[in-house]
Structure 1
Amino acid sequence: MNVLYDKKASKKATNISLNSDLVRKAKLYGINLSQTLEVALERIVKEKEEKQWRKENRTAIEVQNRRVEKEGAFSDEFRRF
């Protein structure tokens, strides 16, 4: 399994600018800004890395798909669909 990032890495203090009213409302509801941003960043980074992987492997995937279309897959005899 590919590891997206080291979840045990130390935390880094970071300055960010956010809409003050949005921050006020988030605090009102007890939303943890650091945790929320970390979850959002993890999702975005994962999407970007998946997109990059597909781009880097596009040719190999296309070649394999053409081969399977032409020759079939080794497990075709076991398919139930």
Structure 2
Amino acid sequence: MMSEASNRAPPPRRRTNLSLDPRLVDEAKELGINLSRTVEHALSTAIAAARAKQWREENKAAIDGTKSWVTKNEAPLRRHRKF
């Protein structure tokens, strides 16, 4: 049985011009590396990291407040832990 994700059509692609080190492009071609998919994966990873950093910065006050509360009051439900 195929997963739902494998039944979906691939997302549309947009032609984009990039400037890359020609030595890297040549070597990637020799090795059969798909440049579009490789750049897409790297860009997706970079976007996820940037969004995570942005979220941490936006929520820093709340995170620090929770850490401070736990330091002063112990973790909620701590007495129920088995470890």
Does the TM-score normalized on the shorter chain lie above 0.5? yes
| TM-score computed with the length of structure 1 as normaliser | 0.81
| TM-score computed with the length of structure 2 as normaliser | 0.80
State the Cα deviation string for residues 4-63 of structure 1 (Å, max 9, x = none): xxxx64211101111112111100000000000011011111111111111000001111
Q: What is the SS of the residue equivalent to 1:49?
A: helix
Query: Which of 34, 37, 40 is equivalent to 1:35?
Result: 37
Structure 1: gaps spanning 5 or more residues: 1-7
Match of 2:52 in 1: 50
Higher relative contact order (CA 8 A, sep 6+): 1
The size of the alignment, in residue pairs, is 74
Structure 2: gaps spanning 5 or more residues: 1-9
Match of 2:24 in 1: 22
Matched residues in 1 for 2:79 and 2:40: separation?
46
Matched residues in 1 for 2:80 and 2:32: separation?
53
Identity of aligned residues (%): 41
Match of 1:60 in 2: 62
Match of 1:69 in 2: 71
Matched residues in 2 for 1:32 and 1:13: separation?
15
